[in-house]
Amino acid sequence: MSKQTILVVDDEKDLLDLIEYNLRKEGFEVLKAENGEQGIEVAREHKPDLILLDIMMPKMDGLQAVEEIRKDDELKGTPIIFLTARSDEKTEVEGLNKGGDDYITKPISTVKLLSRIKAVLRRFDEKEESVNRLDVHDLLIDKDRYIVQRGEEEFQLPRKEFELLFFLASRKGRVLDRQTLLNRVWGDNIYVVDRTVDVHVRKIREKLGDHYIETVKGVGYRFKE
């Protein structure tokens, strides 16, 4: 399946390294930051699929950081899990009210932590899949009718080209590798090669123009911000 990226923000270096090791074992890409300010900078640059956020940190704590993240148009939909030693109900409620999607108290076993992370990612994937119309840039991409509109122009793309465009556009700004695109658009049980993605992207560009989908050399593709 896809290599999703998780940003871990915590000022305990040993814990950061432990979480990174176990997440990588599960196939995730991992980014790290040691305080809230650094976490926001890394998130803005890399746009992770999920942020694991401590509360008690120097420079900017997790509660302040989540407020800033939720103000950012490009990050406000990113799932955030608090992982903290603060176990009081008041802080938990405050964290969830400010925009956290889950609240986990340290210490927690690696197995349980991974389970909670996967559950949140799964929930957000399901929410994204339920969207049937996208307004991105000057395009309206309508999954109910399998139509792409740009002003008065209407484009009818073949099914897989449309589904590839929709998947990329629904994750605008994220870099998606070819294997992720193959798995999510063509399915795990269908044998197709990486080149299939390249061919479909080229055909989409021929019809809509080459200014929507960006090639990220050596990785895959990204629908431009």
**Angstrom distance (rounded) from CA 92 to CA 133:** 35
**Candidate from 117-121, 144-148, 191-195 with smallest mean pLDDT:** 191-195
Architecture of domain 5-129: 3-Layer(aba) Sandwich (3.40)
Question: How is the chain split among helix, strand and coil, in percent rounded to 5?
Answer: 45, 20, 35
CA–CA separation, 133 and 35 (whole Å): 37
Q: Express each pLDDT in 32-53 by its tens digit.
A: 999 999 999 999 888 898 999 9
Lowest mean pLDDT among 126-130, 144-148, 215-219: 126-130
Taking the domain 133-223, which CATH number applies? 1.10.10.10
What residue spans define the domains of the chain?
A: 5-129, 133-223
